[in-house]
Structure 1
């Protein structure tokens, strides 16, 4: 069954963005007022006989902030409020919502556009190893340094690497068994996430009870999901989101499943598998009939390997030949490279994102991948380099940023990443779709 994002979900994301922009505008006005007051005070002080050096320095950082509300273009993301009161002007005296009179360029409102922005991250485990941090600092803690990267895209997606449940029977015979609290989901949604793939080796860590709880809690939180279901028809069904006049279908599949009986089948609940490609290819072709863009999020590969298997490179090509526009990989817990096949993009692994990792190891390297696409499926990619420090993805700058971009170029196939993170096919110039 094909699902689509509700109208209320679109409004919620648009309202959060409006509140963020409104807060930024108010802050700028307050800063400007303070600067004017300070300047007047200093001018008075100078007239009162204070020394010449006691005057406002022109062209400083404070003045630049007034002239440029977005601040210096250093690529760093600043924390932003996520739980602000609604705009008083948006309701009438009886508390009823009034029509939105804001400009039509607001994100996530479903207006027609020639382009759409899609973003992706890798594995997320908002629980288990980082439970202590989440309980001490709040479930929104992992996203505080990267909110701009997560809230700006029209659609934000990632891989949820654990079941969300307070119940369940732990699976036996596997080295790692996980679970997370339902309290983790509202902050994840508020940070900007719209859709999560559940097609991975931990989806049934707490049995079918845990899988069904995860589905229920995601629905209650207003977050879309795909990759599991009560049978293979449900598990392979795309989650379809509509934004800016685009229909974008997300399909989740896994090539890493602990036991055969956990695979979804005609009468068996479980995970959409891709140990072979037949059912995945069929799901992609079916989704392409109705969607403008088809995104395949696939769990595959070897742990800690920075290069994909040739088998999986072939699988990615089959997905694209069937109609996929972008293929996004996860599971190795480290970054892998990029490839362009027939004008379509493959990201073999986006590494860890919300995880307990050593920031000095390859498992600490991460980032947000941005794609800007047209309805022909022509996309430009940009990777925003980050490092997981204390369970917080943190944007990289300077030499550290360049080193990570250079390493990604060295493990990619026929593409390079420039100094800003744009992914460019070798022999071609970067251009907008």
Structure 2
């Protein structure tokens, strides 16, 4: 395989224990088989060694797997890449012609601060109760996790907003239908490396894939790959908003994947393209409360598409921005807040929604946006008249694309 995923200790610890037991059994089996062979070879009527039969009955070792993915042995210290049935990172059978996959996206999710207080009073499912149908209707659902999930850590200094959420809050995201979350943003290290490490552990324990952070830059730029119906989708998370240089993941240094310099992001996209049908880049960028992208968003967005990304999904401005059709691919500049603290007075930060992309294995996607409005940190379907006004405004904010009254987004010819 031309590209193999880096495994952090946090991502592999459960499977590592399982493989340890499997390898121990294999090792014992080898000892027993070796003893039996020795006894047979020492018999007076022994005629010399025979080829060992494989567990499947007659198959030779070359039949047990491809050369690029050897069967695990007792001497291996870490498990091999899992099969698609586990989390979509092994070899997969090509999808049948005409197969599509639906991908849902939302903006910033903050299971902390005021939202955390609401969860404590109303339960972990409260923030997503009204949006659940839209989230669960897709094959894969993704969002941006805007807070470390930990009971430890050291709060970041010289920062206006510092967040911290509880591991038990993640059950609400899992129940709502989320599958993968980006950690590449300006709050992931609010509680330092300990907080980030705990966050990755907590997501692993909750059965939620994640990307955009790691113990070094190699792990941080490694995509999460999920498979549905034979279509493999690679999710890469990067941030163009990093509060301090020490937050950047680098060789032998933990942190987030940054894209001030797009070199590593471009390399990650090209590598992911070798093993996945679709490549999605979720990027944190832009200026807060501006409903149009700044130059760095359009420049970086175009660069990522040129490198091979099929979808670029933005967050950070806290308000919705428009969409762009670029070279047959799509950029969503900002999906705004999804579950976040809501102001006392009505604000554009409460306008939100779920973007769904229906894509084939060639990377051709059709987009639809379902408008929502968040009240008390709980997004729900928007009232029809308000929804029409929002969709019309998003259409005006878009580039080379229009949004119709049903939320369908199409490229202008």
Query: Normalising to structure 1: TM-score of the pair?
Result: 0.73
Kept after mapping to 1: 8 A contact 2:286/2:316: yes
Kept after mapping to 2: 8 A contact 1:228/1:264: yes
Deviation at 1:160, TM superposition (A): 0.1
Question: Is 1:274 equivalent to 2:254 in the alignment?
Answer: no
Spell out the pairing of 1:288-303 with structure 2 (5 A cutoff). 288-303=273-288
Kept after mapping to 1: 8 A contact 2:213/2:255: yes
Q: State the SS of the aligned residue for 2:280.
A: strand
Kept after mapping to 2: 8 A contact 1:3/1:240: no
Separation in structure 2 between the aligned mates of residue 130 and residue 123 of structure 1, nearest angstrom: 12
Q: How many aligned residue pairs are there?
A: 325
Question: Is 1:391 equivalent to 2:394 in the alignment?
Answer: no
User: 2:351 corresponds to which residue?
Assistant: 365
Q: 2:5 aligns with which of 2, 7, 29?
A: 2
Spell out the pairing of 1:295-314 with structure 2 (5 A cutoff). 295-314=280-299
Separation in structure 2 between the aligned mates of residue 351 and residue 130 of structure 1, nearest angstrom: 16
Q: State the SS of the aligned residue for 2:325.
A: strand
Moved over 4 A (4+): 3-6, 110-113
Spell out the pairing of 1:254-265 with structure 2 (5 A cutoff). 254-265=239-250
Separation in structure 2 between the aligned mates of residue 322 and residue 154 of structure 1, nearest angstrom: 25
CA offsets, 1:311-342, max 9 Å, x none? 22011111011110000000000000000111
Question: Is 1:222 equivalent to 2:225 in the alignment?
Answer: no
Question: Is 1:210 equivalent to 2:195 in the alignment?
Answer: yes
Structure 1 pair 3/231, CA: closer, same or farther in 2 (3 Å)? Answer: closer
Separation in structure 2 between the aligned mates of residue 390 and residue 384 of structure 1, nearest angstrom: 19
Structure 1: 5+ residue runs without aligned partners?
9-109, 428-433
Kept after mapping to 1: 8 A contact 2:170/2:203: yes
Query: Normalising to structure 2: TM-score of the pair?
Result: 0.76
Separation in structure 1 between the aligned mates of residue 173 and residue 355 of structure 2, nearest angstrom: 17
Question: Is 1:163 equivalent to 2:148 in the alignment?
Answer: yes
Structure 2: 5+ residue runs without aligned partners?
15-93
Separation in structure 2 between the aligned mates of residue 187 and residue 174 of structure 1, nearest angstrom: 28
User: 2:130 corresponds to which residue?
Assistant: 145
Question: Is 1:376 equivalent to 2:362 in the alignment?
Answer: yes
Question: Is 1:234 equivalent to 2:219 in the alignment?
Answer: yes
Q: State the SS of the aligned residue for 2:314.
A: strand
Separation in structure 1 between the aligned mates of residue 6 and residue 232 of structure 2, nearest angstrom: 11
Separation in structure 2 between the aligned mates of residue 176 and residue 126 of structure 1, nearest angstrom: 14
Deviation at 1:288, TM superposition (A): 0.3
Q: 2:341 aligns with which of 327, 336, 356?
A: 356
CA offsets, 1:210-235, max 9 Å, x none? 00000000000000000000100000
Separation in structure 1 between the aligned mates of residue 225 and residue 412 of structure 2, nearest angstrom: 33
Separation in structure 1 between the aligned mates of residue 284 and residue 181 of structure 2, nearest angstrom: 12
Separation in structure 2 between the aligned mates of residue 111 and residue 355 of structure 1, nearest angstrom: 37
RMSD: 1.8
Kept after mapping to 1: 8 A contact 2:326/2:400: no
Kept after mapping to 1: 8 A contact 2:148/2:191: yes
